[in-house]
Amino acid sequence: MSSISDVHQMIERLSNLNKEVYSILQDPIFDSLAFTKVQGLLDKLQGNDFTRIRSVFLGEHLRKSMPINLEREYFYLSEDFLNSLPRVPKNSVFLLTNNDIGSSLPKYIDFYNSNPGILFIIWDWDSQHWIAMSSMLAVYSDFYIAAGSENAFLLSHFNPNVIGPVFCAVHQWTRRFIVDNIDCILGSRSDSPLGKHVYYSAYPKRNRVIASVAVHYPDVGFSDNQYKSKSDIDNLREWASYKVHWISPVLSGVPIRVYNSLITGGIPLLPSFTRNMPEVEILGKYPLYYGVEDLLNPKKIVNDAVNRFDLGGESGLIERVSCAIEKHHVDGRWELILSEVEKQIDKINRSDRGFQSGYLGIRPFLNN
């Protein structure tokens, strides 16, 4: 047990760190950067027509995306597209995640600077912890979108042309693939939770959570990114073989695996602190939330989740799958993003300074 003096020292350290961050954000360089980004977008919009987005180039991580608006055409970039750049028509839009760029950031910056006729939209899936990458992508994009609520204010200093946040979504399987393999999802399942997470030394608290639960449940623990080498059906079978999915974010937010759990019919278990975050508002009644006490004895919360699964039966499972297909697939997220970009471009052209859309996507979900 930590002493109260240890707690006070921790508070003082955090306070000092926050003061330093806030002090940095007052620097006039951010005023100059904001003006440059706003003017740069105005110049791009005056020289190109993006009022109706038609040609959309998607990063490799979004290769399972399909257009909902049939007036749009998607083109899928290879993993190394920055080494073999495609021919891009004028007035095209690039939709990329931070993972599509990664270690190729210098090449991406050159590509961005060399293509004033392309509209670049970055959807940053790791904005809650990859600050260096997030800040650079905000600078080198026309519209920047964080996937989480944490750091949204900080990152807005690097680009005032922000949308969202827009939360993550299922991108591992197409919606058609889920429907075509519904028999796999309706099969028998284990009462033990699934929760394989990659070990990251930078996040010891998360590692302690996983290690504590792994003592009780062998299918919760550490693994590599081996799912990337598995087939779609093998990954689907693994997810659909469990009633419950134990989920531990690296820091805050709702990881993609929450949506994977729902679209395969499972019950996601999330840490209790997420209950107060906007990200979980769109998840509704489906998740359960574990606290610190559950890390020492996770059996009760797991049993509660198993009971919820069993009581819902097949109809409850199909309801979760249907909800995720409709509301939490990357197809829908992209259409929200593209529609919002069109709306914001219209507002810019009309010099409309009114409210934009805040946490994009929350309201439509809450209306159901």
pLDDT, tens digit, 9 for 90 and up, residues 85-104: 778 888 899 999 999 999 99
DSSP class of residue 197 equals: E
- Please state, in angstroms and rounded to a whole number, the distance separating the CA atoms of residues 102 and 133: 8
Q: What is the mean pLDDT of residues 218-244?
A: 90
State the total domains in the chain: 2
Is 144 within 8 Å of 165 (Cβ atoms)? Answer: no
Same domain, 244 and 149: no
Number of other residues whose CB lies within 10 A of the CB of residue 105: 16
DSSP string, 234-283: HHHHHHTTBSEEE---SSSS--HHHHHHHHTT-EEEEEGGGGGSGGGGGG
In this predicted structure, the answer to whether residue 364 has a pLDDT above a threshold of 70 is: no
Q: Identify whether the C-beta of residue 145 lies closer than 8 Å to the C-beta of residue 162.
A: yes
- 165: how many CB neighbours lie within 10 A of its CB? 27
- Which residues, other chains included, contact 80 with Cβ-Cβ below 8 Å and sequence gap of 6+? 104
**Mean pLDDT calculated for residue range 276-280:** 90
Tokens of 84: 């073999």
Q: Are strands 195-198 and 162-163 parallel, antiparallel or unpaired?
A: unpaired
To the nearest 5 percent, what fractions of the chain are helix, strand and coil?
A: 50, 15, 35
pLDDT value of residue 368: 45
- In this structure, are 77 and 112 located in the same domain? yes
CA distance 297 to 337: 41
Residues 198 and 315 placed together within one structural domain of the fold: yes
Q: 3-class SS at 79?
A: coil
pLDDT at 311 over 60: yes
Domain shared by 29 and 141, yes or no: yes
Q: What's the pLDDT band for 361 if we cut at 50, 70, 90?
A: low
Are residues 204 and 95 part of one domain?
A: no
Residue 33, exposed/middle/buried by CB under 10 A (0-12, 13-18, 19+)?
A: middle
What is the span of the domain harbouring residue 314?
175-327
H helix count then E strand count, the chain = 15, 11
pLDDT, mean over the chain: 93
What's the pTM value of the predicted model, to 2 decimals?
0.94
Check whether residue 194 and residue 317 sit in a common domain. yes
What six digits make up the tokens of 234? Answer: 């093998």
Question: Same structural domain for residues 182 and 290?
Answer: yes
- Same domain, yes or no, for 95 and 28? yes
Query: In this structure, what CATH number is given to the domain that contains residue 143?
Result: 3.40.50
With a cut of 70, say whether residue 367 has pLDDT above it: no
Q: Are residues 152 and 94 in the same domain?
A: yes
Helix (H, G, I), strand (E, B) or coil at 196: strand
Whether residues 27 and 154 fall in one domain = yes
State pLDDT tens for residues 184-210: 999 999 999 999 999 999 999 999 999
Claim to verify: residue 334 and residue 295 sit in the same structural domain: no
Q: Are residues 199 and 323 in the same domain?
A: yes
The Cα–Cα gap between 298 and 292 comes to 10
For the cut 80, the answer to whether the pLDDT of residue 363 exceeds it is no
